[in-house]
Homo-oligomer: A and B are copies of this chain.
Amino acid sequence: MLKTRYVKDIKEGEQIRDLFLVGNKTQLVSNAGKPYLNLILRDRTGQLEGRVWDRAEEIGKRFERDDIVEVTGSVLQYQGRIQVKVHDVQKATGLPPDLGNFLPVTRKGIEPLWNQLRELVKSVKDADLRKLLEAVFPDPPETETARGFRQAPGGKTMHHDYIGGLLEHTVSVALICRFLAAHYEGVDGDLLVAGALLHDVGKVEELAYEGTFDYTDEGRLLGHLYLGAERISRICGEIPEFPAGKATLLKHMILSHHGELSFGSPKRPKTLEAVLLHFVENMDAKANAFAEAMEDLREGARWSDYNRMFDRYLFSGRFEK
Q: Which residues does chain B contribute within 8 Å of A303, judged by CB atoms?
A: 220
The answer to whether B226 and A255 touch across the interface, beta carbons within 8 angstroms, is yes
**A184-B287 contact in complex given A29-B78, A33-B76, A249-B221, C-beta closer than 8 Å:** yes
| A294, B279: Cα distance in complex, Å | 19
| A141 close to chain B: CB less than 8 A | no
| A168 close to chain B: CB less than 8 A | no
Contact pick for A313, options B85, B220, B233, B262, CB 8 Å = B220
Q: Which residues does chain B contribute within 8 Å of A255, judged by CB atoms?
A: 222-223, 226, 266
**A315-B220 contact in complex given A29-B77, A261-B262, C-beta closer than 8 Å:** yes
Chain A interface residue count, CB cutoff 8 Å, equals: 80
| A270 close to chain B: CB less than 8 A | yes
- The residue among A175, A267, A310 with the most chain B CB atoms within 10 A of its own CB is A267
| A271 close to chain B: CB less than 8 A | yes
| A321, B246: Cα distance in complex, Å | 12
| A267, B185: Cα distance in complex, Å | 33
The answer to whether B266 and A251 touch across the interface, beta carbons within 8 angstroms, is no
| A290 close to chain B: CB less than 8 A | yes
Q: Which residues does chain B contribute within 8 Å of A4, judged by CB atoms?
A: none
The answer to whether A175 and B183 touch across the interface, beta carbons within 8 angstroms, is yes
Number of copies: 6
Contact pick for A266, options B77, B225, B244, CB 8 Å = B225
**A221-B263 contact in complex given A85-B33, A175-B183, A186-B294, C-beta closer than 8 Å:** no
Q: Which residues does chain B contribute within 8 Å of A319, judged by CB atoms?
A: 217, 244-245, 248
Contact pick for A261, options B78, B83, B264, B310, CB 8 Å = B264
| Per-residue B-contact encoding for A183-215, CB less than 8 Å = 1, 0 else | 111101001000000000000000000000000
Q: Which residues does chain B contribute within 8 Å of A265, judged by CB atoms?
A: 266
The answer to whether B29 and A186 touch across the interface, beta carbons within 8 angstroms, is no
| Per-residue B-contact encoding for A158-200, CB less than 8 Å = 1, 0 else | 0000000000000010011001100111101001000000000
The answer to whether A287 and B315 touch across the interface, beta carbons within 8 angstroms, is no
| A321, B216: Cα distance in complex, Å | 13
Q: Which residues does chain B contribute within 8 Å of A291, judged by CB atoms?
A: 184-186, 272
Contact pick for A314, options B85, B176, B270, CB 8 Å = B270
| A61 close to chain B: CB less than 8 A | no
Contact pick for A272, options B26, B275, B317, CB 8 Å = B317
Query: Nearest-CB distance from A312 to chain B (Å)?
Result: 6
- 8 Å CB interface, A244-293 against B: 244-245, 248-249, 251-252, 255, 261-268, 270-273, 275-276, 279-280, 282-283, 286-287, 290-291
Contact pick for A315, options B31, B184, B221, B276, CB 8 Å = B221
Q: List 25 A-B contacts (CB under 8 A).
A: A27-B80, A31-B32, A33-B85, A176-B180, A176-B183, A184-B287, A185-B291, A218-B248, A220-B270, A221-B267, A221-B315, A222-B248, A223-B255, A223-B267, A226-B226, A226-B251, A226-B266, A229-B230, A245-B321, A261-B261, A261-B264, A264-B266, A264-B267, A271-B315, A271-B316
